[in-house]
Every structure is written in C-alpha cells, then in structure tokens.
Amino acid sequence: MATPARTPTPVDQAKREAFEREALVHLDALHRVALRLSGNASDADDLVQETLLKAYRAWDQYQPGTNAKGWLLTILRNAFINEYRRRSRHPETVDLDSIEPFAVFEDVQDKDPQGAFFDRIVDDEVLRAIDALPLAFRETVVLSDVEGLPYQEVAKILDVPVGTVKSRLFRARQMLQAKLYQYAVSMGYIKGNAP
C-alpha cells in the first residue's frame, strides 16, 4: 500500500532549499562527467539520479559552504566504478604504459602554429576521441579539462596522488591531440607530414 504523502516539515523544507542551492546547481556538471564515464545517455541519466539520491540521503555529512561539486563528483565516480563500469561499453584493455605520447606541435609549428585546424573539428569527433581514452585518462581529463578542477581536487576525487594526475593529464592531452590531428589530416583540414 502506498504511503500517504505527508506535509513537509520546516526541517524538510530547509534541507530541500539547501540541497537545491548547493547540490542541484551542479546537475549539468554531473551529467557531463557521467556521460563521458559511462559512454551512453541512459546510463549517464541513471548515474546522475543515483548520485543525487545518495547525496540527499547523506546530506547531513556534507558541511555547508564546502566544496559540494567535489563531494558530488566523488559520489558519482564511486557509484560508476562500483556499479556501472562492468556494463560500460568501454573495454579497458589498453596497457597505459604502452601508449607513447606524441607532440603534435612539432609537426604543425611550420604550417599552423596556432592550431587553427582544431576549430574545424566537429564536437562529436572531440567527444569520440575522449571516449576512446582508457578510463584512468578519461576521468582525469574530464575533471580537469572539462570541469576545470584543480589538480588537488581531481586527485582527491580519483583517490590518487597529485603526481599521478599530472602524468595522466600530460599523456591524455598528448593522446587527444594526436588523435584529433590525425583526424584533421584525414579530413584534409591540414596537410600531414609524410610518414
């Protein structure tokens, strides 16, 4: 039998207002991160919903005025690792140490030093390139480069040392550049150097 709706108490109302003000304002950011982690819109929606329900239940543990976005992203990331990762469409078969960074600038400095060719690449191709990164790199790049979080905060959310964030960012950015450069060459946006 359904529980009859009860009238919200002033305490409920205050909690709701605080949650809307400090947590729900980050809905778009949570969704962007969830989409890149899970790789599909349906899982991303479920992941964001689960994150916010968990956060609301645990709202007493959150200290008002502290970093709500970081707190929410930690909940989201843990939920993803524990529950969604197994059925995610991203295969995690890449050996991280086998990936060689590639310095695109050296290749383009004489013909397009400002990287104008990047502007011709469509959004979907950029997102595809990010989605093709191994999870460890993908989550670091999304938190840092898309959400603009400082290294210390990314490290805290991912539970890794700051040095790991730095090295992952370096390699992830080089990999993304290389992939998007190769795409730009294949589309004729820029002339590639002959192999």
Partner 1 sequence: MNCREAADHLYEYLDRELTPDVQAQIKEHLAHCPPCGQHFDFEQSFLKFLEARCRAKGASPDLRRRILRELFGE
Binding site for partner 1 (CB under 8 A): 5, 16, 19, 24, 27-28, 30-32, 35-36, 45, 48-49, 52-53, 56, 105, 108-109, 113-115, 118-119, 121, 123, 126-127, 130, 141-142, 144-146, 148, 150-151, 166, 169-170, 173, 176-177
Torsion (CA) 118, 123, 126, 132 in degrees, nearest 10: -160
Cβ 174 vs Cβ 107: under 8 Å: no
Shortest spacing between CB 156 and partner 1, in angstroms: 15
Shortest spacing between CB 63 and partner 1, in angstroms: 20
Q: Which is nearer to partner 1, 17 or 159 (CB)?
A: 17
Shortest spacing between CB 141 and partner 1, in angstroms: 8
Q: Which is nearer to partner 1, 95 or 118 (CB)?
A: 118
Residues 11-29: b if buried by 16+ CB within 10 A, e if exposed: eeeeeeeebeebbeebeeb
Q: Which is nearer to partner 1, 4 or 64 (CB)?
A: 4
Cβ 104 vs Cβ 192: under 8 Å: no
Say how far apart CA 98 and CA 73 lie, in whole Å: 29
Shortest spacing between CB 134 and partner 1, in angstroms: 17
What residue has token string 């600038």?
105
Shortest spacing between CB 87 and partner 1, in angstroms: 20
Q: Which is nearer to partner 1, 14 or 95 (CB)?
A: 14
The single-letter code of the amino acid at 141 is: V
Q: Residue 136 has what DSSP assignment?
A: H
Say how far apart CA 90 and CA 86 lie, in whole Å: 9
Q: Which is nearer to partner 1, 95 or 99 (CB)?
A: 99
